[in-house]
Amino acid sequence: MATRTFDKKNIILLKIDEHDLNSFLVDMDIDDDGNPHFMLEELANSIINVIPEYVFAHYEDPMIPQNDTVDKLREAAKSIYKIKEFDLMRRHYLDKDESVVDKIKKLKSPNRGEFGELLLHLLLRDFKGTVPLISKVYFKDSSGVPAHGFDSVHISPNENILWLGESKFYVNSKTGINKLIEDLSNHIQKDYLNEQFNIIKKSLNYNTIPMRDEWIRVLNECSKLSEKIKIINIPLLCIYPHDIYKIYSDMKDSKTFVYHESNIRELKKHFVDNNHHRLKNQLNIILMLFPVENKKQLATILHEKLWHMQSM
């Protein structure tokens, strides 16, 4: 079994692995009474493991001295909560602060701050072998760039592929997919990609990752839309609650897979039928579908862990 960077216990199961479609399930266990148990705590730990790299990327030496580790974790957690959307959602989930509900509704994307970006980061790193090209958190904080753009900016280290991903975490899976289609329509167009390439290049001026100069060259040479889309992979992650974890206790059983595949194929069809992007036949899109047991429970435990990380 391959060693993963973040999901070290291999609880995330890759069930469908096709060039334009990936699906995942979370493994199950039993509790002390022998009852089936969704591995919520383990999934949350795997996602939280992403935080330091998500925040710092390769801006700092990955070989952080042991006496600095806790300080770096605290700094990373605090950086996340500098993002308005994350702090509003924390107040909503943990503090039960009703005063933030109207503010959340007014957000450009009300589901920002619910950890979809972190899970996308994990899946790209553990299952696609990517590395982050820039730290979006660092770039927002240090250069005042508005909190918009792609949810992930990764690269394949052994080939010139730029992974520009989007994520949605919705109660209704088809609503999440519709929102991903909206992002695809708004973001994969000439002016927007030109803006994002300029932001990435500007960020690389402060970046110390290996291949920095190579990627500056690649980004500078891609001046045409036709050139840009040839080097871009577009992972679109939809996270949503599903009853599979209530119906089945063994995620590796063939009957479970049949039920899972039926759900996944239906959602893939919904995506294909509703994706009217004029360049869709030229884009390398990977739809990534990740059902979980309960959206509120997962978001709450992640906020709890992240909030406590600030006080370590």
User: Phi/psi of residue 140, each to 5°?
Assistant: -65, -45
In a domain, 41, yes or no: yes
Which is nearest to 75 in space by CA: 137, 31, 13, 134?
137
Total domains in the fold of the chain: 1
- Is residue 111 pLDDT above 60, yes or no? no
Q: How far apart are CA 70 and CA 306, in angstroms?
A: 13
Q: Indicate the Cα dihedral angle 280, 23, 54, 209, nearest 10°.
A: -60
pLDDT for residue 141: 40
In a domain, 1, yes or no: no
pLDDT for residue 290: 98
Are 48 and 307 a contacting pair, CB within 8 Å? Answer: no
In a domain, 292, yes or no: yes
In a domain, 69, yes or no: yes
Q: How far apart are CA 190 and CA 228, in angstroms?
A: 9
- What's the mean pLDDT when you consider all of the chain? 86
pLDDT for residue 149: 76
pLDDT for residue 201: 86
Domain of 97 in residue numbering reads as 12-309
pLDDT for residue 237: 98
% residues pLDDT > 90 (the chain): 56
Q: How far apart are CA 286 and CA 267, in angstroms?
A: 13
In a domain, 115, yes or no: yes
Token match 């206790």: residue?
Answer: 249
Distances (CA, A) of 255 to 22, 56, 144: 19, 42, 50
In a domain, 216, yes or no: yes
What's the whole-model pTM score?
0.89
Distances (CA, A) of 128 to 120, 218, 281: 11, 21, 22
A 10 A CB-CB count for 296 gives: 11
- Is residue 205 pLDDT above 90, yes or no? no
Indicate the residue type of 101: V
Token match 């209704």: residue?
Answer: 172
In a domain, 105, yes or no: yes
In a domain, 205, yes or no: yes
The string of pLDDT tens digits covering residues 45-62 is 999 988 888 887 654 555
Strands (E) located in 35-176 = 36-38, 131-132, 152-156, 161-169
Helix (H), strand (E) at residue 25: strand 21-26
Q: Which of the four pLDDT bands, split at 50, 70 and 90, describes residue 63?
A: low
Q: Which of 47-61, 222-236, 240-254 shows the lowest mean pLDDT across its residues?
A: 47-61
Q: What residues does 234 pair with on adjacent strands?
A: 285
Q: Which of 131-140, 199-208, 229-238 shows the lowest mean pLDDT across its residues?
A: 131-140
